[in-house]
Amino acid sequence: MPTLARATILIAAMFCAAASGQTQSETKEAKSGTASISGPITVGTDPAPGVVVAVTHDNHQIRQTPVAQATTDKDGRYKVKGLSAGRYIVSPIDPLLVLPQDAMMQGRGKSVSVSEGEEIEGIDFSLVRGGVITGRVTDDQGRPLVGEQVALSRVDERDRKTFVYLHHRPMLEIDDRGIYRLFGIPAGRYVVSVGRQLGSLGAGNEGGFYARTFHPGTTEESQAEIIEISSGEEATGIDIMVGPLSRSYTVTGRIVYAETGAPFPNALYGYGILSDDGKSIQSTTYSKRTDAGGNFRLGGVLPGRYVVFSVAESESDYYSEPVPFEIADEDVSGLEVRVHRGASLSGIAVIEGTNDTDILARISKLQFIVFQQEGGPSPPRSDPVKIELDGSFRTGALHPGKVRLYLMNHLPVRKGFHLIRVERGGVNVTDGIEIAPGEEISGLRAIIAYGTSRILGQLKMAEGELPKDVGFVVSAHLISSGVHRTVANVEADQKGRFVLEGLPAGEYRLLVRRGLSRPGFGRILPGKTFRQDVTVAEQAEVQVTITIDLNAGVK
């Protein structure tokens, strides 16, 4: 969703730019390059002037700021300049106009790969006027639910419902008359609801909650009335009447040291939803700390099955086992969360592939994340693993079991850096590091490769053209010296082009798989994988063409 949330934030940021009063002549250019992207935008057969077109890096970061943008002229044409080589998402942003396909769920725009100095033309968009859903929300006494928010879900052809992240938050809110108005909605089938679902995490509202209620007034999702919207259509009278305010509950207890039973003060704690099979925590929330007596309190908790835990912090060296509890119709008290001294890992991270002192100094800007395989639900960790300027690192509060280290992907300085192996006693650890309870493992050596090479790729079909409704995901696996590490993943653009950047020298295996959609949000469809090996030299640019034959490929 990580990937869906990414699209939501992206659209929200760009919507703010569109709503800021920018004129048609104003542009924001990325000054670092010489490439450009241009094309027309229409509504039907008419040009669409005054539409903001934003360009963002397609690098899977959660928070995105447009690197460049332009506004269409009177003829509906735009041109975004100053782009460096790379892969981008081009998106038209207008509060009332939408892409014909589901712009909120998967239509971030079009993916485009550009080379330095290239002028890409014909990246066109045909927009349609979005639909409107409006109605009034009241309680069982006919009073407006001021300040509550409505939720919109898309209904597919199989009647499966998917939550829609609307790009303009204020339009979700119910005003002082109980009126809401959702606009800029792509054509489709929807259900509208208000309130919270049982078993969801609370927001600390101890005054009670309204059970999730669908139009016209049912808490049964299967009985929700479906609203069909065409382009430009306004559906009115989509009212919702909720039932009486339901009670939320309070959970209290203590966090103590397992060995002594003494209170654990200032412990960061939280709770999460326990999965139906009891083997995982589906979502979590935490922000408060225990008092001097180790006491904790959770307020505004809805009926459901949960776990409470102490959040693992590297500087504390203590972790807890999650304690399950269930809310039915009364508060829960007397819970005891026991913390144990965790195991630790420490070592040195080194950068290979460069002698540039500026690049070597960036090691202190990089961070590791820890992944542990557990047999049951595992509480979250609150912080990444910091790397010091001399390359040293340490992390504690580890559960027994296997531990793996990864470089954090979303950091701006991450480009070009790849963790290619972790050595223990000079031996490459390929299947994680096994740790015993309380064990202190030192002397690890994390080798981080730095690269500036690029692979410029082109996908083509053995017969015919690339399908328009299915994307392709390309993964680069470093196979030199038996490393076998995935160092990059990208999605091919509309024309089958892809760019893999920041690669260290070595031998790579490129794997091509079909994605869910274009752009594809990382979900891979089952089917054949297509493979091609390529050798990349230092500071090189390699061009490669991969032929897709849906009747062949490697399983």
Domain boundaries, the chain: 3-127, 131-241, 252-341, 345-442, 453-548
pLDDT tens digits for 461-489?
A: 888 887 766 678 899 999 886 666 788 88
CATH code, residues 252-341? 2.60.40.1120
Distance CA 164, CA 181 (A): 15
The H or E element that residue 15 is part of is helix 3-18
Query: Does 103 score more than 80 pLDDT?
Result: no
- Average pLDDT for 8-14: 37
CB 136 within 8 A of CB 239: yes
Q: How confident is the model at residue 510 (pLDDT cuts 50, 70, 90)?
A: very high
pLDDT for res 4: 31
Query: Does 11 score more than 70 pLDDT?
Result: no
* Environment class of 442 (CB within 10 Å of its CB; exposed 0-12, middle 13-18, buried 19+): exposed
> Which own/partner pairs from 375-378 qualify as long-range (CB within 8 Å, at least 24 positions apart)?
375/279, 375/401, 376/278, 376/279, 376/322, 377/272, 377/274, 377/275, 377/278, 377/279, 377/280, 377/281, 377/307, 377/322, 378/281, 378/322
CA distance readout (Å), 316 to 319, 378, 395, 433: 8, 17, 10, 21
- Give me the phi and psi of 12, to 5 degrees please: -65, -45
Burial 210-235 (b: 16+ CB within 10 A, else e): bbbbbbeebbeeeebeebebebeeeb
At which residue do the structure tokens 């007397």 appear? 334
Tell how strand 485-491 and strand 440-450 pair up.
unpaired
Distance CA 321, CA 311 (A): 10
| pTM greater than the 0.85 cutoff | no
Q: How confident is the model at residue 552 (pLDDT cuts 50, 70, 90)?
A: low
Query: Does 258 score more than 50 pLDDT?
Result: yes
Query: Does 317 score more than 80 pLDDT?
Result: yes
Domains 252-341 and 345-442 share a fold: yes
pLDDT for res 548: 84
What is the DSSP code string of 303-325?
SEEEEEEEPB-TTT-EEE--EEE
Distance CA 227, CA 235 (A): 8
**Is the CATH number of domain 453-548 2.60.40.10?**
yes
DSSP β-bridge partners for residue 510: 476, 532
Q: How confident is the model at residue 26 (pLDDT cuts 50, 70, 90)?
A: very low
Distance CA 182, CA 190 (A): 12
Cis ω for the linkage preceding 526 (within 30 of 0): no
Distance CA 255, CA 271 (A): 13
- Average pLDDT for 107-118: 80
Query: Does 1 score more than 70 pLDDT?
Result: no
**Is the CATH number of domain 345-442 2.60.40?**
yes
CATH code, residues 131-241? 2.60.40.1120
What is the DSSP code string of 511-527?
EEEEBSSSS-TTPBPSS
C-alpha neighbours within 13 Å on the C-beta side of residue 107: 18
For the domain made up of 3-127, give the CATH fold. Immunoglobulin-like (2.60.40)
pLDDT for res 17: 39
DSSP state of 246: B
Q: How confident is the model at residue 160 (pLDDT cuts 50, 70, 90)?
A: confident
